[in-house]
Structure 1
Amino acid sequence: MRARLRGALWPIPAVGVLLAVGAGIGLPALDGLLERRDSGHPLSFVFGGGPAAARDVLAAMAGSLISVTGLVFSLTVVALQLGSSQYSPRLLQTFVTDRAVQLTLASLTATFVYALTVLRTVRTEDATSGETAFVPRLSVTVAYALTLASVVALLLFLGHLARMLRVETMLRDVHDEGTATLERELAGGDGPGPGRTALPAGPGTVLPSPSSGFVVGVDEAGLVDAARRHGAVLLLVPRVGDAVVGGTPLAHAWPARRSGDTDDGTDDGVGGLAADVARAVDLGFERSPDRDVAYGLRKVVDVALRALSPGINDPTTAVHALSHASALLGDLVTRSPADRHLPDDAGLLRAVVPQWSPAALLDLVMEEPLAVASGQPAVLRRMAALLREVAFRTPGGLLDDRLRGYLSAVVEVAAESTRIPAGERQAWSTRLEQALAGVWPADLPDRRAG
């Protein structure tokens, strides 16, 4: 739930509206107390006009702010459409969660609601029966200050929007988002338990998923508890970020009743175990960056693919995206945890939760861009450099053959579709082998324009 709220546009503006309603009720009450204490208002800097002027000022503030709010919403929608069509629909999630956008909308809507709430408390003498006129002077002054703050927020938002629409800014934000996800997932180490334990022999029992969606999180404690109560060992099928179709396997289960088990009598068969496992796996209608370490790479690769499409044909953006992909991939292959083997309190294996392997992450970065990079010398050169950078950072032997295979494919595409010299293509292979050996020669960089 926290991840869904963090990924929505409305929570902060909604909180601002509630605070505005509270202030619009409380400040006029304070004004009433201050007015009754003396013959005049004790604060010299407050609004000094009469009831008619107060009504006009508050009405003008409310009317102008709702118009400006509509303008901000229109600009936001235009930015969302541009980001979706030009770069990737997945970037909309990053834009919507931007705090500057949320705070600007909160400022405008809160000031509008506050002005309307205060407006209802203004009383003129001819509109009252047995009461004197009332002007909430402090409240009107606060409304004026909030309006000035909203104007400043609008100006800052326009500048921020111009920066947000730059692809370099979007790539940086996705990069930071992916790095933050990796830090959160590794905050507790490589995972609980004494290490890897072999799963029981045999095919196991298939536990189908009751619904469809993307895995956005796994309650590991709940998974272990379900396995313990049913005397089972579980192997989760999807990783966080994978799509699950209702009726297909969500997990496999093996019986594992031992003398050390603590069955509490709630074992109600395969159906009960499947229901408990489904409750421990959080499915959403879209992928979430909250726990999905591969989602940042997916977004960056999407930007590179869109840039290489015939309708856009922007190889420079593709090169920049591959640079971010190289940095993220290097962090992931050197720090990504192995499949999590989860024991219970007695140390018995209860569940295995798969993770994104380094090979799968490399495939995610290379497969699709390589398929559309034909005839793009700058992109192919950047792919060769990416493989060299990953090879230098990856622990020895982990991805050696896969990196060599992808470089061979890059060299083949370059030879067939570009005029990159054979000597340069051979140099790519030499540099990769040096990087795999942990060597990065101190040679001068390529002076080719980039």
Structure 2
Amino acid sequence: MNLSIRRAAQTVQDGVRTQLWPLPIFGVVLAVAAGILVPLLDVRIDEQLPGVLDTLVFNGDPGAARTVLSAVSSSLITVTSLTFSLTVVTLQLASSQFSPRLLRTFTQDLFVQVTLAIFLATFTFSLTVLRSVRSASEGGVVFVPRISVTIAFLLAVASVVSLTLFLAHLTRQIRVETMLQHVYDDAVGTMQTNLTRRDDPAEGTPAPAPPHSAQVLWARSSGFLTSIDQDDLVGVATRADARVVIERHPGSFVVQGTPLGRVWARSESPLDPETLDRLAADVAGAVNQGPERTAAQDVGYGLRQVTDIVNKALSPGVNDPTTAVHGLGQMSALLVELTTYRLDPLVLTDDDDQARVVLHRPAFAELLEVCVAQPRSYGKADVQVLSRLYTLLEDLAWHASTEQRPAVLDQLRRLDATVADQDLDDVQTARLDELGQSVRRIARRTAGDSPAS
């Protein structure tokens, strides 16, 4: 149950953090409330301030107060526009130079969101306080919200500091090494939340095989499968006294009218049409789809992002094999981390330990194909890229389980065939052949020789 709560929390967090607006809007609302309440506090305690505080707070007349507040509000809206412009330029650079799938990594940057929130809150607070300033020419009692003006000044100073830190942060964020590290951290977090480690005790309930009476669950909409509400799905299957197999995993693009999974009664008899329709509708509500992939439950999303960076670096328009080699290094680390988890189907049970739901996961061979196939094709003319691909397979050979080694050896065979088709000199060919032989020796070792053993 704790793992289910973590999955649900990560899904909600991923949906909120990838939006730029929540924190800035919260800052604006908070600033409006403070801009109304703090002047009221001024009225109550202005005459009661201790001597030291009385000398530190703003001591100007209404005209000076209006000048300060107007200067802060006008300058901050300009700085906010500049910040938005820099953010948009960064997003464009990340999209064109590296991968469109990195935009989510930038938009969920908490530093950018907090900076925008500070700027907009300072502007809104100053503008709200400005309306409470009263001078003698306007009739009534002269009122200068000294504490409020002082707070606006301090917020302006904080905004200047935030702008400086934001510019330093932005220059660091657009470095490819930083982006690769962010993708790695997110991908590892997704694995930890959604997968079970190989060294953990195996689940006691085997995955039930669909009987001949199993009926197809058809997808009711098109889009990427972003997340699955596991608790909801178990409840749906339990209420119908049925078993459900979801054959598509998060990250798959599901087309409306194609099979999403299968369902059958626990007695293995066909479900009546009314029960089947109701169950299919409930399953559709528990299986969330969207226009883009997310990192919440998609264990292959980080690998796809790193592969995109490598592919873009190897494209003729960019031609940056060094970045490709760096990307393959991070990809190797992610794949090695992936070997420590189980990718077999996940069986969800009800309160009576009866298997109710089976969720398929991407196979290791499928994820390895995503990582190696395109870089092998696009980088086949670069010896450094080919060498790094061999090293990637060598790293995997050290950690792969017995079930995973055939996929590693298959990729090695295809990489050898690619190298054989290239016009390389004898030294380069010998070096690559030596790397290939090393991968074979490591992959054929006994299980007790594994570093994890």
TM-score, normalising length from structure 1?
0.90
What is the Cα deviation at residue 92 of structure 1?
Answer: 0.7
1:280 and 2:286 matched: yes
Q: Residue 336 and residue 20 in structure 1: after superposition, are their counterparts in 2 closer, same or farther (change >3 A)?
A: farther
| Aligned mate of 1:252, from 252, 258, 262 | 262
Give the corresponding residue for 2:32: 21
What is the Cα deviation at residue 35 of structure 1?
Answer: 3.2
1:142 and 2:170 matched: no
1:170 and 2:179 matched: yes
- One-letter identity of the residue aligned with 1:226: V
Give the corresponding residue for 2:440: 433
Q: Residue 252 and residue 191 in structure 1: after superposition, are their counterparts in 2 closer, same or farther (change >3 A)?
A: farther
Q: Secondary structure at the match of 2:256?
A: coil
Q: Residue 56 and residue 184 in structure 1: after superposition, are their counterparts in 2 closer, same or farther (change >3 A)?
A: same
Q: Distance in 1 between matches of 2:414 and 2:356?
A: 42
8 Å CA contact 1:223–1:351 kept in 2: the answer is: yes
Give the corresponding residue for 1:271: 277
8 Å CA contact 2:224–2:289 kept in 1: the answer is: yes
Deviations 1:27-76 (A, max 9, x none): 11110112355899963210011000100110011000000000000000
Deviations 1:110-169 (A, max 9, x none): 1000100110100111112xx211000010001000000000000000011111111111
| Aligned mate of 1:54, from 53, 59, 65 | 65
8 Å CA contact 2:197–2:342 kept in 1: the answer is: no
8 Å CA contact 1:297–1:365 kept in 2: the answer is: yes
Range with greater deviation from structure 2 (298-307 or 225-234): 225-234
What is the Cα deviation at residue 311 of structure 1?
Answer: 0.8
Give the corresponding residue for 1:443: none
Range with greater deviation from structure 2 (80-89 or 398-407): 398-407
Range with greater deviation from structure 2 (136-145 or 221-230): 221-230
Q: Distance in 2 between matches of 1:2 and 1:176?
A: 15
Q: Distance in 2 between matches of 1:404 and 1:159?
A: 45
- One-letter identity of the residue aligned with 2:337: D
Give the corresponding residue for 1:243: 253
| Aligned mate of 2:75, from 43, 64, 67 | 64
Q: Distance in 2 between matches of 1:302 and 1:371?
A: 13
8 Å CA contact 2:46–2:146 kept in 1: the answer is: no
- One-letter identity of the residue aligned with 2:179: M
Give the corresponding residue for 1:385: 391
What is the Cα deviation at residue 191 of structure 1?
Answer: 9.9
Range with greater deviation from structure 2 (173-182 or 184-193): 184-193
8 Å CA contact 1:377–1:418 kept in 2: the answer is: no
Give the corresponding residue for 2:212: 202
- One-letter identity of the residue aligned with 1:95: F
Q: Residue 169 and residue 42 in structure 1: after superposition, are their counterparts in 2 closer, same or farther (change >3 A)?
A: closer
What is the Cα deviation at residue 77 of structure 1?
Answer: 0.5
Q: Residue 39 and residue 298 in structure 1: after superposition, are their counterparts in 2 closer, same or farther (change >3 A)?
A: closer
Q: Residue 429 and residue 385 in structure 1: after superposition, are their counterparts in 2 closer, same or farther (change >3 A)?
A: same
8 Å CA contact 2:197–2:341 kept in 1: the answer is: no
Deviations 1:179-205 (A, max 9, x none): 111122247997995232332421621
What is the Cα deviation at residue 315 of structure 1?
Answer: 0.6
CA RMSD of aligned residues (A): 2.4
8 Å CA contact 1:244–1:250 kept in 2: the answer is: yes
Give the corresponding residue for 2:431: 424
Query: Please, which runs of 5 or more residues in structure 1 have no aligned partner?
Result: 440-450
- One-letter identity of the residue aligned with 1:387: L
Q: Distance in 1 between matches of 2:163 and 2:330?
A: 31
1:213 and 2:223 matched: yes
Q: Residue 166 and residue 138 in structure 1: after superposition, are their counterparts in 2 closer, same or farther (change >3 A)?
A: same
Range with greater deviation from structure 2 (246-255 or 295-304): 246-255
8 Å CA contact 1:13–1:106 kept in 2: the answer is: yes
Deviations 1:277-325 (A, max 9, x none): 1111111221111121111111000000111111111111111111101
- One-letter identity of the residue aligned with 2:395: E
Specify which structure has the higher proportion of helix: 2
Q: Residue 344 and residue 401 in structure 1: after superposition, are their counterparts in 2 closer, same or farther (change >3 A)?
A: same
Q: Secondary structure at the match of 1:180?
A: helix
| Aligned mate of 2:164, from 155, 158, 174 | 155
| Aligned mate of 2:368, from 362, 366, 370 | 362
Give the corresponding residue for 2:7: none
Q: Residue 64 and residue 401 in structure 1: after superposition, are their counterparts in 2 closer, same or farther (change >3 A)?
A: same
Q: Distance in 2 between matches of 1:297 and 1:178?
A: 8
What is the Cα deviation at residue 250 of structure 1?
Answer: 1.7
- One-letter identity of the residue aligned with 2:413: S
Give the corresponding residue for 1:444: none
Give the corresponding residue for 2:449: none
Query: Please, which runs of 5 or more residues in structure 2 have no aligned partner?
Result: 1-11, 447-453
Q: Residue 69 and residue 38 in structure 1: after superposition, are their counterparts in 2 closer, same or farther (change >3 A)?
A: closer
Among all aligned residue pairs of Structure 1 and Structure 2, give the percentage whose two residues are the same amino acid. Answer: 41
Q: Distance in 1 between matches of 2:432 and 2:157?
A: 61
Q: Distance in 1 between matches of 2:54 and 2:445?
A: 72
Q: Secondary structure at the match of 1:317?
A: helix
- One-letter identity of the residue aligned with 2:307: V
Q: Residue 41 and residue 331 in structure 1: after superposition, are their counterparts in 2 closer, same or farther (change >3 A)?
A: closer
Give the corresponding residue for 2:8: none
User: 1:225-240 alignment to 2 at 5 Å?
Assistant: 225-240=235-250
Range with greater deviation from structure 2 (232-241 or 321-330): 232-241
1:343 and 2:346 matched: no
Give the corresponding residue for 1:7: 18
Q: Residue 24 and residue 404 in structure 1: after superposition, are their counterparts in 2 closer, same or farther (change >3 A)?
A: same
Q: Distance in 2 between matches of 1:319 and 1:277?
A: 43
Give the corresponding residue for 1:406: 411
| Aligned mate of 1:415, from 401, 415, 420 | 420
Q: Secondary structure at the match of 1:342?
A: strand
8 Å CA contact 1:238–1:354 kept in 2: the answer is: yes
Q: Secondary structure at the match of 2:126?
A: helix
- One-letter identity of the residue aligned with 2:382: Q
8 Å CA contact 1:377–1:414 kept in 2: the answer is: no
